[in-house]
Amino acid sequence: MTLSRLGHALRLRREQLGMPQSKVGGLRQATVSRIENGGDVTLDTLIGYASALGLEVTLAPIGQGTYLKPGPVGVPDRLAGDKPLDLLDEFGDLRDET
């Protein structure tokens, strides 16, 4: 489920950039498709794909990370009108039942 959501968000970003799958720098089209469809990939490949889209992968303490809704390219998030989402809210269905 998580990889599927991540792949969807990355696909939206790529489409906002007007970039076809075959033009993502350093990656084969089949690899881009696998990522966007939630398939297993290495962390190195995921980081490379994010970088090609002008994004970076970061780690944050649990409950302190944010997930930004895709907004207009080139518009700072604070101006795009979309409030950052807490990862625990976005992926709440994945919480451990303890």
Amino acid at 68: L
Amino acid at 15: E
11-44 pLDDT tens trace: 999 999 999 999 998 899 999 999 999 999 999 9
Contacts of 91 (CB under 8 A, 6+ apart): 2, 5
Token pair 């039942």 is found at 97
Predicted confidence at residue 57, as pLDDT, reads: 86
Predicted confidence at residue 20, as pLDDT, reads: 96
The phi and psi torsions of 35 (rounded to 5 degrees) equal -60, -50
Q: How far apart are CA 2 and CA 7, in angstroms?
A: 9
Predicted confidence at residue 58, as pLDDT, reads: 85
Q: How far apart are CA 67 and CA 58, in angstroms?
A: 11
Which DSSP helix (H) or strand (E) runs through 94? Answer: none
Amino acid at 63: G
Predicted confidence at residue 15, as pLDDT, reads: 94
Predicted confidence at residue 29, as pLDDT, reads: 96
46-98 pLDDT tens trace: 999 999 999 988 888 887 776 655 555 554 443 344 444 454 555 566 566 65
Predicted confidence at residue 93, as pLDDT, reads: 61
**Farthest-apart Cα atoms in the chain, separation:** 45
Predicted confidence at residue 5, as pLDDT, reads: 87
Predicted confidence at residue 21, as pLDDT, reads: 96
